[in-house]
Structure 1
Amino acid sequence: MTSHMHRWTGVLVSVAWLGTGCGDEKKEEQEPGAYDWKLPAGFPKPRVPEDNPMTEAKVELGRRLFYDKRLSLNGTQSCASCHLQSLAFTDGKQHAEGSTGAIHRRNAQGLANVAYATSLTWANPSLTTLELQALTPLFGTEPVELGFADKAAELLGRLGQDAELASRFKEAFPENPEPVSMASLTRALAAFERTLISGNSPYDRYIYRGEVDALSPAAKRGMDLFMSERLECNHCHSGFNFLDASASELTNMPVQAFHNTGLYNEDGKGAYPTVDPGVIELTGQAADMGRFRASSLRNVSVTAPYMHDGSIATLSDVIDHYAAGGRARQVQGGQLSPLQSGFVRGFTLTKEEREDLLAFLEALTDPQFLSDPRFSDPYGSP
């Protein structure tokens, strides 16, 4: 799920080719075999593409595909190689590493609650469905992730030769004359990823279930700080998902939001490194320099390192970054970037307040999610 600019070779990446689920969404009908969300308290139902309704068979197929190393050309990696359940489906590395050893310029994003995200990469507003996004790791060449590039037929042939897997495709997509197809592959992966919902942290138990002792006194004080106008954290990390760019079936106008947090200011005018300047790379708009998607803070204590390039090692360092009004301000003579968000202006914390804020951020961890067998490797791979 890492996000990068890619060059596509011999692969027709279009809505028509894929049947990606980019159309209007509506409430799926509850039919036999339909997926039972078992949503946590306080969580709305995710939006689901009309042409990819959720079913138990499809989710289970997607789970198996997610952990299947045959989805890499050389058989060394699966989707799960860069998205480990124990790390909230991140990989713990500064930069993700592809199946051929190619090092990515960006940090792998977590997949917790990805069903609610309105954009699915660090800085590409056009990738808005999980079905479409799946093409990036499968076929992208700059950098290589799973490495299939122009070899889509080889991938499908490989999967179709497995009689059990082919049977699962047929069960999940009974309406398709050729169940093992690129459309069904990406739809199954997307269906599984939509089930990765995390909502059983101490914070959830306190807010949504009324367990008054679920949060420690320090975490409660930290929550007040987090939500305060003094720190401004909740402007970009808002709502049940701690992410401003979230949507559900209750959302009328899904919002996409990208932010410049003052991580770099190389020329005093807000410039980011040319290797990865943000949304401007796609839009060409000067105001998009250094703008990246905010990440959900759910399970943030296990998703280090932080930021789009993994350049901040610890949560304590992240607090330093925002307290200083941006890291660029720390290292470049106190100068604010003219392009950074108006919510990143700095603040002062006492030692106790800092500890309280960390206690709150750690209380967003959902231990059940990190080990839930519904999301685990069905093959029991080491």
Structure 2
Amino acid sequence: MKNILKVLFTICFLVIIAASCSKSDSQSTPELSFPAIKAAFGDNIDLNSLSNYSGQIKPAYIIKDNTGANPILNAKATLGRVLFYDKSLSVNNSVSCSSCHKQEFAFSDSALVSSAILGGVTARHSMRLVNSRFAVEQKFFWDERAASLELQTTQPMMDHSEMGFSGQNGRPAFSTLLTKLQGIPYYNELFKFAYNDVNVTESRLQECLAQFIRSIQSFDSKYDAGRVQVANDNQNFPNFTAEENSGKNLFITPPVFDANSSRIAGGVGCNACHNAPEFDIDPNSRNNGIIGVINGANRDLTVTRAPSLRDLTRVGGRVNSPMMHTGANRTVRAAINHYNTIALNQNQNPNLDARLAPNRIGQSLNLTENEVSALVAFLQTLSGTNVYTDKKWSDPFL
């Protein structure tokens, strides 16, 4: 009897200890309170349950990654999301990064030029930001003047016309923006959460914005559904139509030119500059035959940057934004036709990419209408759907 009582006592004692430990554990990690974030964003931002930016799945065949020394962390990407959509980053609280890079257009703008502060406009049309991380090219802006995505993120804030913190002609300097953000309660909570202090610095803005932008990825296209079923891009995709497979083969296969530069065999070689499966721009590309600027006749020979061709259109074929750095082409067919015939004029365009001047004369692909249609059909297979609706990339202020 004594032994039974001893066993029962031991069991009760262990149960009490276990309950006490469980209670202690639950009390040691209470949900943190963020009243300013709650007031500003409601349930759109929850620092106790962060959106997954860092652990997103990408296909095994996607191998390019320009993250470098700024890996994506959920806390900092969340802060980057708020910064991306916050109009407080402009001098008159009217423009944010998202004013030019809209989720509904694959983070580009359907307008030729985007709206800036005080009725102004941007000098160029806004480049798509989808899959910025998955590229060899690391420079940004159409003329590649930013050596990295980090450096690019704060330059529009300092631009006199775009967001206004230029320190010129009566406009406040960039330091004024840092002080302004430091005085906003939800940034105190966000920076404290991400960095353990409330200090707002340019390098922190760059770090967080770049992490958020690099998190924007699109790999749910018809192309991806086909690519995962084959060993390489040269094989026919089982889910493609005959026209789409024909367009893919034209895109990937280099052209063969005769002595007069008339294409006589092969494909059209788009892949030489826009390499599958990321479809990013070759960083060694030179001018593509477009030498003008938006709404003007000035020459521009330095432009070599281009976004990934992914989500050039939405499913169904609607173009997300004007194409080329001048926005000269409003349809995919028009963009293809630009590459069909390119004149070589050393005086007019001494920086033309050599791949567009075979045999040192102008390019003449001699594409048929059927070939153009096939290329259009293939490029439309690069369009996903999730990037346009995923909440973690959406406006938290709504």
**TM-score of the pair, normalised by structure 2:** 0.71
Structure 2 match to 1:137: 156
Q: How far has the Cα of 1:221 moved from its partner?
A: 0.9
Q: Deviations over 1:357-382 (max 9, x none)?
A: 110011111112222222111222xx
Structure 2 match to 1:262: 289
Larger Rg: 2
Q: Is structure 2 residue 136 aligned with structure 1 residue 120?
A: no
Structure 1 match to 2:204: 184
Residue 312 of structure 2 aligns with an amino acid whose one-letter code is V
Name the structure where helix makes up a greater proportion of residues: 2
Query: Which of 310, 314, 329 lines up with 1:298 in the alignment?
Result: 310
Is 1:41–1:209's contact at 8 Å kept on the other side of the alignment?
Answer: no
Q: Deviations over 1:49-101 (max 9, x none)?
A: 43x34211001110111011111111111100100111111111222332233
Q: How far has the Cα of 1:296 moved from its partner?
A: 1.8
Structure 2 match to 1:309: 326
Q: How far has the Cα of 1:162 moved from its partner?
A: 2.6
Structure 2 match to 1:282: none
**TM-score of the pair, normalised by structure 1:** 0.74
What is the CA–CA distance in structure 1 between the aligned matches of 2:174 and 2:348, rounded to whole Å? 47
Q: How far has the Cα of 1:237 moved from its partner?
A: 0.6
Query: Taking structure 1 as reference, are residues 297 and 94 closer, same or farther at Cα in structure 2, changes over 3 Å only?
Result: same
Structure 1 residue runs without a partner (length 5+): 1-32, 246-255, 267-272, 280-290
Query: Which of 175, 183, 191 lines up with 1:169 in the alignment?
Result: 191
Structure 1 match to 2:300: 277
SS state at 1:293 partner? coil
Residue 262 of structure 1 aligns with an amino acid whose one-letter code is G
What is the CA–CA distance in structure 2 between the aligned matches of 1:373 and 1:203, rounded to whole Å? 24
Is 1:111–1:196's contact at 8 Å kept on the other side of the alignment?
Answer: yes
SS state at 1:134 partner? helix
Structure 1 match to 2:219: 199
Q: Is structure 2 residue 389 aligned with structure 1 residue 371?
A: yes
Highest RCO, 1 vs 2 (Cα 8 Å, sep ≥ 6): 1
What is the CA–CA distance in structure 2 between the aligned matches of 1:34 and 1:369, rounded to whole Å? 13
Query: Taking structure 1 as reference, are residues 41 and 369 closer, same or farther at Cα in structure 2, changes over 3 Å only?
Result: farther
What is the CA–CA distance in structure 1 between the aligned matches of 2:246 and 2:63, rounded to whole Å? 27
Query: Taking structure 1 as reference, are residues 212 and 265 closer, same or farther at Cα in structure 2, changes over 3 Å only?
Result: closer
What is the CA–CA distance in structure 2 between the aligned matches of 1:149 and 1:336, rounded to whole Å? 34
Residue 221 of structure 1 aligns with an amino acid whose one-letter code is S
Residue 161 of structure 1 aligns with an amino acid whose one-letter code is G
What is the CA–CA distance in structure 2 between the aligned matches of 1:137 and 1:41, rounded to whole Å? 35
What is the CA–CA distance in structure 2 between the aligned matches of 1:109 and 1:303, rounded to whole Å? 10
Q: Deviations over 1:196-222 (max 9, x none)?
A: 122221111111245954322211111
Q: Deviations over 1:249-286 (max 9, x none)?
A: xxxxxxx32322222499xxxxxx7745242xxxxxxx
May I ask how many residue pairs the two structures share in their alignment? 309
Structure 2 counterparts to residues 1-382 of structure 1, below 5 A = 35-44=54-63, 46-50=65-69, 52-115=70-133, 116=135, 117-124=137-144, 126-141=145-160, 144-150=161-167, 151-174=173-196, 177-210=197-230, 212-230=237-255, 231-245=268-282, 256-264=283-291, 275-279=298-302, 291-301=303-313, 302-325=319-342, 339-344=351-356, 345-380=363-398
What is the CA–CA distance in structure 2 between the aligned matches of 1:42 and 1:372, rounded to whole Å? 23
SS state at 2:118 partner? coil
Query: Taking structure 1 as reference, are residues 57 and 339 closer, same or farther at Cα in structure 2, changes over 3 Å only?
Result: closer
What is the CA–CA distance in structure 1 between the aligned matches of 2:148 and 2:320, rounded to whole Å? 23
RMSD: 2.7
Residue 106 of structure 1 aligns with an amino acid whose one-letter code is R
Q: Deviations over 1:103-154 (max 9, x none)?
A: 3332211101112332111113x5222221122101022xx11111133333
Is 1:196–1:375's contact at 8 Å kept on the other side of the alignment?
Answer: yes
SS state at 1:300 partner? coil
Q: How far has the Cα of 1:306 moved from its partner?
A: 0.8
With 165-174 and 56-65 compared, the bigger mean Cα shift is at: 165-174
Is 2:280–2:308's contact at 8 Å kept on the other side of the alignment?
Answer: yes
